[in-house]
């Protein structure tokens, strides 16, 4: 059998030293290429903590996270940052776009961070990504000149710039009205269906979770349920 895209084994996470919060208490699951999964659970159950660990923004207290067969615990800080930049796309609840830069320049930022320069093919890719998220007519706009939903779509295009193996999104629609949220969700579904982008999204919204193919539900730092979601034919 092919190795999973992501393997999480025995992962725990403690925060703090004097007063320790055990945010994750032993998480095990794996994700195959092309999956579209929802991470759900009550506030404080550990969803963002888990996403940050999978996204290599932080390291587990114990346990292993392997991505495409690479044991990420074996990488030093520089190696981890480089691996993250080339493997993971991250979309946050708040888009974290750079206000002084245009949509295209924001999308180019991960490539610039990786290579220290921008080439013409990169610029073409950034513009093509913006067109694919429906912003072909907004390439030169600053974030402040875009709506919340449009900003989030720029953030998704940015997350896809380096062709990540895994797209992670922490409440990508949490800060949007219903219609913009729906557009962003449909965009993620389309990228998954058409481009095969593997997605894991944290959501509070059960109606969104049932529209993902799989739902991992956390309670109190543990996987409470991990189930396939029956999709209408």
What are the residues binding ligand ATP (CB under 6 A)? Answer: 15-16, 21, 23, 41, 43-49
| Minimum CB–partner distance for residue 49 and ligand ATP (Å) | 3
**Of how many residues is the chain composed?**
233
94 binds, among Mg ion, ligand ATP, none (CB under 5 to 8 A by kind): none
Closest CA to 161 of 90, 99, 215, 232: 90
**Binding residue (CB under 5 A) for Mg ion from 6, 24, 27, 48:** 48
48 vs 198, which CB is nearer to Mg ion?
Answer: 48
**Dihedral angle computed from the Cα positions of residues 154, 183, 67 and 57, in that order, rounded to the nearest 10 degrees:** 50
* Cβ-based neighbours of 47, under 8 Å, separated by 6 or more: 39, 40, 41, 170, 202, 218
Longest dimension (CA), the chain: 53
65 binds, among ligand ATP, Mg ion, none (CB under 5 to 8 A by kind): none
| Minimum CB–partner distance for residue 139 and ligand ATP (Å) | 33
40 vs 48, which CB is nearer to Mg ion?
Answer: 48
Which residues of the chain form contacts with Mg ion (CB under 5 A)? 48
């Amino acid at each position: 059998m092919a190795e999973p895209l992501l393997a999480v084994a025995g992962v725990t996470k403690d925060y703090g030293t004097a007063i320790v919060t055990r945010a994750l208490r032993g998480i095990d699951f794996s994700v195959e290429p092309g999956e579209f999964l929802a991470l759900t659970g009550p506030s404080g159950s550990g969803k963002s903590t888990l996403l940050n660990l999978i996204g290599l923004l932080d390291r587990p207290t114990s346990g292993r996270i392997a991505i495409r067969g690479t044991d990420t615990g074996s990488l030093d800080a520089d190696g981890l940052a480089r691996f993250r930049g080339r493997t993971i796309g991250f979309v946050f609840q708040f888009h974290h776009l750079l206000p002084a830069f245009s949509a295209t320049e924001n999308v180019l930022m991960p490539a610039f961070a990786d290579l220290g320069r921008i080439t013409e093919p990169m610029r073409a890719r950034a513009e093509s990504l913006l067109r694919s998220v429906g912003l072909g007519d907004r390439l030169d706009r600053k974030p402040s000149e875009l709506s919340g939903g449009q900003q989030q779509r720029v953030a998704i295009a940015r997350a896809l710039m380096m062709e990540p193996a895994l797209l992670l999104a922490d409440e990508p629609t949490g800060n949007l009205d219903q219609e913009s949220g729906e557009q962003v969700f449909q965009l993620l579904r389309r990228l998954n269906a058409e481009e095969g982008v593997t997605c894991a999204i944290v959501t509070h919204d059960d109606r969104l979770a049932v529209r993902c193919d799989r739902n991992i539900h956390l309670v109190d730092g543990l996987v409470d349920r991990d189930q396939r979601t029956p999709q209408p034919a």
